[in-house]
């Protein structure tokens, strides 16, 4: 199980606004800002997103490698997948796979895919057998 992920973004304010809107339907919110000067030398400033008392998705301003990362976010239902996809598109994402069953994985695997403003691949996924 993963504890956290950092991604570098080109415009931190734009990315915070994008992810606040995009992740809200999944119950994931911007919950913590970490000042890098409080950590070891060279530690970046971080903007943390999480849910249920955990902060697990972090943004840092820096060099963007776009499609070098794919991040899948858990949705509690197919309706949450649809809502997160719509919120992402409304916030400026690029479609990379409309909400639907991903039959090539499993008939109970329902997901949607977008590219964020820096080109990172995001997936909102509901796997019926995991709920």
Q: How far apart are CA 124 and CA 74, in angstroms?
A: 6
pTM for the model: 0.94
Q: 86 in the Ramachandran plot: left (φ > 0), alpha (ψ -120 to 50) or beta?
A: alpha
How far from 84 is each of 81, 98, 125, 127, CA to CA, in Å? 5, 11, 10, 15
Q: How far apart are CA 93 and CA 116, in angstroms?
A: 5
Nearest of 94, 21, 8 to residue 57 by alpha carbon? 8
Q: 3-state SS of 51-68? A: ECCEEEEEEEECCCCHHH
Q: How far apart are CA 101 and CA 82, in angstroms?
A: 12
DSSP state of 112: E
Helices in 6-77 by DSSP H: which ranges? 12-23
pLDDT at 93: 98
Digit-by-digit pLDDT tens for the chain (131 residues) are 689 999 999 999 999 999 999 999 999 999 999 999 999 999 999 999 999 999 999 999 999 987 889 999 999 999 999 999 999 999 999 999 999 999 999 999 999 999 999 999 999 999 999 87
pLDDT at 67: 81
Every domain of the chain and the residues it spans: 5-130
Superfamily of segment(s) 5-130: 2,3-Dihydroxybiphenyl 1,2-Dioxygenase, domain 1 (3.10.180.10)
Residue 24, burial from CB neighbour count under 10 angstroms (0-12, 13-18, 19+): middle
């Amino acid at each position: 199980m993963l504890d956290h992920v950092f991604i570098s973004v080109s415009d931190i304010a734009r990315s915070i606004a994008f992810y606040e809107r995009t992740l809200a339907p999944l119950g994931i919110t911007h919950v913590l800002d970490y000042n890098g000067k409080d950590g070891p030398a060279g530690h970046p400033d971080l903007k943390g997103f999480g849910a249920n008392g955990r902060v697990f998705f972090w943004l840092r301003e820096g060099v963007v490698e776009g499609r070098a990362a794919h991040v899948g976010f858990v949705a509690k239902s197919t309706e949450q997948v649809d809502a997160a996809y719509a919120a992402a598109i409304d916030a400026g994402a690029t479609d990379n796979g409309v909400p639907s069953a991903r039959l090539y994985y499993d008939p109970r695997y329902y997901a949607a895919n977008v590219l964020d403003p820096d080109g990172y691949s995001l997936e909102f996924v509901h796997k019926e057998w995991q709920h």
